[in-house]
Amino acid sequence: MRWSLDDVPVYVAVVEQGGMTGAAALLGRPKSSVSTAIARLEKALGVRLLQRNSRSQRITAEGETFYRHALMIIEQAREADAIVAGLRADPAGRLSVALPPAFCQEIVAPRLPAFRRAWPKIDLRILITSHGVELLREQVDMAVVVGRMEDSDLVARVLIAGALTCVASPDYLARNPVADGLEALRSHIQLCETRYGSKRVPVHVAGQAATLDLETGISHVNNPLVVRAAVLNGAGVAPLPRHYVRDQLRDGSLVEVRPDVTFDIEASTLSAVYLSRRLMSPRTRVFLDFLTEASR
């Protein structure tokens, strides 16, 4: 026996209204009809969704899992209706996104007021985390991730593909000139972001392939803005994504060191990702366009 899609909104109403009576009132249906729909759904699924007696109702663990998927089913149906009806011009509703801390603080946060003014009907929920991919399947609509993406279930749009650049404060360089040679540069690197902490980071020196040890004897931190703050205060030389040091290079508070050393690394790439099997809602589309524009 297969379960019916027609019973899914009934189940969601029962969960959200806290019982059959509230769901029946919301849906404008007899309570007996609601009870029959839930019983039919449970029989088809082969699991108990709700524990109920004459006084109370409690959702089971299986019921909680099915409820989350039921919300996705209803949302997808609404999005399909919106696209077919041509309602792209007025995006609305809840949009959940996962953003890495540095990207949100440096790139997104200063531009959020403009997004709000442009799309006031979007209920934007931002989760600050470095584990956005793990949340995509059930908790968020879109995530921004750092590094190469290889999951075939995901669609990725590259937002920033800028390379790493070595920087230091002018005061540090005045006291500690950096000599030629890769080993000389390495001796000035005191810390770097965790994702670059490898023994053999691929680089080119004046066009010649080489590797740089960014693991041994170096402090590591999982936030590029912390690395930047340390370097601004004299913590030697550090490789940082160029998009996090553009303003500092422009105002002179940081100076580029050894521009002849280029990093052959994709770990600094930032991409917006979402599930390929899901329709892209109008609100997701405008937020993706917002991220693309903000990252330029």
pLDDT digits (tens, 9 = 90+) for 259-274: 999 987 777 889 999 8
Orientation of helix 8-17 relative to helix 31-45, angle to 10°: 110
From its phi and psi, is residue 46 left (phi > 0), alpha (psi between -120 and 50) or beta? left
User: Each residue of 121-146: pLDDT tens digit?
Assistant: 999 999 999 888 888 777 899 999 98
CA 154 from centroid of its chain's CA atoms:
12
**What letter represents residue 208's amino acid?**
Q
Which residues lie below 8 Å from residue 210, measured CB to CB, with a gap of 6+? 182, 202, 203, 204
**How many C-beta atoms surround the C-beta of residue 68 within 10 A?**
11
- Which tokens belong to 281? 């809602």
Do 258 and 137 contact (CB within 8 A), yes or no? no
How far is CA 261 from its chain centroid? Answer: 31
- Ordered by where they begin, the domains of the chain are 5-84 (1.10.10.10), 93-149+279-294 (3.40.190.10), 164-263 (3.40.190.290)
Cβ neighbour number for residue 117 with a 10 Å cutoff: 8
The CA distance from 142 to 125, in Å, is 11
**CA–CA distance, 95 with 209 (Å, rounded to integer):** 44
Q: What is the pLDDT of residues 153-210, one digit of tens each?
A: 788 899 998 789 999 999 999 999 999 999 999 999 999 999 899 999 999 998 899 9
Q: Which residues contact 286 (CB under 8 A, 6 or more apart)?
A: 91, 118, 119, 122
Average the pLDDT over 17-28 and give the result: 89
Closest CA to 268 of 44, 103, 123: 103
Strands (E), the chain: 50-52, 57-59, 93-99, 122-128, 142-146, 154-160, 164-168, 191-193, 201-205, 208-212, 219-221, 238-241, 255-256, 261-263, 270-275
Per the DSSP assignment, residues forming a β-bridge with 220 are 192
Contact 164, 243 (CB under 8 A): no
Least Cα distance to 245 among 128, 162, 182 occurs for 162
The sheet with strand 201-205 has its strands ordered as: 208-212, 201-205, 261-263
- What would the mean pLDDT of 5-18 be, rounded to a whole number? 90
The reported pLDDT for the residue numbered 104 is 96
Residues 233-262 pLDDT 10s: 999 999 999 999 999 999 999 999 999 999
State which H helix or E strand residue 134 sits in: helix 132-135
Tell whether pTM > 0.85.
Answer: no
Distances 173 to 24, 124, 223 between C-alpha atoms, Å: 73, 44, 23
3-state secondary structure of 154: strand
